Amino acid sequence: MSGKTSYNVLFLCTGNSARSILAEAYLNSASGGQFLAFSAGSHPKGAVHPLTLETLRQAGLSLAGLVQNLGRI
């Protein structure tokens, strides 16, 4: 064990198709492992908005692991 503390963070929005996905990807990328971010929606759309995916790709942020448990990416 590294002795380094990490914190889980949940970003919640209505549809879980854009804002919370962007926040999850950014925090996971920028935190250096200090935070483990997740996203969820109170009324999930069932798919990530295509512009969200394109924005993440253009920003060079990984799509790996994003809402993987729901099979949407």
pLDDT in tens, 5-18: 899 999 999 999 99
The structure's pTM equals 0.83
pLDDT at 62: 86
21-51 pLDDT, tens per residue?
999 999 999 999 999 999 999 998 888 899 9
Examine residue 1 and state whether it is found in any structural domain, yes or no: no
* Distances 47 to 2, 5, 6, 7 between C-alpha atoms, Å: 36, 32, 29, 26
Q: Into how many domains does the chain fold?
A: 1
CATH code where residue 22 lies: 3.40.50.2300
Tell me whether residue 66 is exposed, middle or buried, using C-beta atoms within 10 angstroms of its C-beta: 0 to 12, 13 to 18, 19 or more.
Answer: buried
- The total number of residues written for the chain in this structure: 73
49 located within any domain: yes
